[in-house]
Amino acid sequence: MLGKMAIVGDGDSIMVFKAAGVDAFPASDEKKAREVLRRIAGEYSVIFLAEELARPLGDFLKRFDEEPYPVILPIPTGKEEDGYGGEQLRSAMERALGVDILSH
């Protein structure tokens, strides 16, 4: 299966991805991002999502946890990482193992 890649975010950051061959979808706020994701989820198999948009959409993104595709990856696009991806990882770890094996 040949899949496509997309990035959902705002401002400058998505432009550079566009130049690198990833389809860019601008979304300035949470509501817009939700709309865009709903629209492109079937078509794109790998979707990068700006962390600051992913955080408020946590519950919405859970619905993609059951199927292998699409893969939605929160990535930092601002000046600093806000640790959302790490948090997600930790919560998955807690669900599965019940202990924290990374923090030492």
Partner 1 sequence: MARLNVNPTRMELKKLKARLSTAVRGHKLLKDKSDEMIRRFTVLLREDNALRSEVETELISTLKQFSVARSVTPKYVAETAFAMPAVAVKADCTVESVMGVNVPKVALSAEKRAEGLPYAFSEITSEADYSVEKVATLLPKLVKLAETEKAVRLLAVEIERNKRRVNALEYVMIPQLEETIKYIRDKLDENERAAIVRLMKVK
Binding site for partner 1 (CB under 8 A): 1-5, 12-13, 15-22, 45-46, 48, 65-66, 68-69, 71-73, 75-81, 85-86, 88-89, 92-93, 95-97, 101-102
In angstroms, what is the minimal distance from the CB of 34 to partner 1? 19
Q: Considering beta carbons, is residue 31 or 78 the nearer one to partner 1?
A: 78
b/e string for 26-51 if b means 16 or more Cβ within 10 A? ebeeeeebbebbeebbeebbebbbbb
Q: Considering beta carbons, is residue 31 or 81 the nearer one to partner 1?
A: 81
Q: Considering beta carbons, is residue 4 or 39 the nearer one to partner 1?
A: 4
**Do the beta carbons of residue 51 and residue 81 sit within 8 Å?**
yes
Q: Considering beta carbons, is residue 11 or 56 the nearer one to partner 1?
A: 11
**Do the beta carbons of residue 41 and residue 64 sit within 8 Å?**
yes
In angstroms, what is the minimal distance from the CB of 47 to partner 1? 8
Rounded Cα–Cα distance for residues 104 and 30 (Å): 35
Q: Point out which residues pair with 46 in neighbouring strands.
A: 5, 71
